[in-house]
Amino acid sequence: MRNRSQVGHVDNAGFVVRVPTQESELRSIRAQVRAFVSTHDGSDDVADDIELAVSELATNVMQHSAADAVTVAMERLDGRWLVDVYDADEIPPLDEVSAPPTDSITGRGLFIVQAVMDDVSILHVDERTIIRCIKHDA
């Protein structure tokens, strides 16, 4: 099957990619995120953190929502990386996120995202749930 990733907007400031909620699409998302950070002079550490956060959030959409696609939007603004991941469902309040029990094989996504990003928030826009993350340049 051909990769059905769609890059909806790319310019010097940012990009948007929308892919079907198939875990096989995660590699494409991660590669595009890393390429964007690299071409905008982000450090390897920043790229690692953003790639990990986006991968965790996209996986959550794919595994725990009814969405048929996941959308990732990124921008570089004034020494910050702004990352939005669209169409998550039933996100717990972020102040209630904690590490799962050590014997659990799931439940670490938001905990990891909060650990590697500088700010994480939940937005609701036009019946869509967006997880917004910000990473400051190191």
Q: What is the number of structural domains in the chain?
A: 1
**Using 50, 70 and 90 to split pLDDT, how confident is the model at 123?**
confident
Would 1 be classed as within a structural domain?
no
Would 79 be classed as within a structural domain?
yes
Would 125 be classed as within a structural domain?
yes
Residue 38: what pLDDT?
Answer: 93
* Structural domain of 94: 6-136
Would 132 be classed as within a structural domain?
yes
Q: Which residues of the chain form beta strands (DSSP E)? A: 6-10, 14-20, 69-77, 80-86, 119-125, 128-136
Would 115 be classed as within a structural domain?
yes
- Quote the crossing angle between the two packed helices 26-39 and 44-64, to the nearest 10°: 150
Instruction: List the strands of the sheet with 80-86, edge to edge.
Output: 6-10, 14-20, 69-77, 80-86, 128-136, 119-125
Would 65 be classed as within a structural domain?
yes
Would 104 be classed as within a structural domain?
yes
Percent above pLDDT 70 for the chain: 75
Output DSSP code: residue 21.
S
Would 13 be classed as within a structural domain?
yes
Give how far Cα 63 sits from Cα of 47, 55, 76, 87, 106, Å: 24, 12, 28, 12, 11
CATH number at residue 10: 3.30.565.10
**pLDDT tens-digit series, residues 8-63:** 444 456 889 999 999 999 999 999 999 999 999 999 999 999 999 999 999 988 88
Residue 133: what pLDDT?
Answer: 93
**Using 50, 70 and 90 to split pLDDT, how confident is the model at 88?**
low
Secondary-structure breakdown of the chain: helix, strand, coil percentages, each rounded to the nearest 5? 35, 30, 35
**Using 50, 70 and 90 to split pLDDT, how confident is the model at 130?**
confident
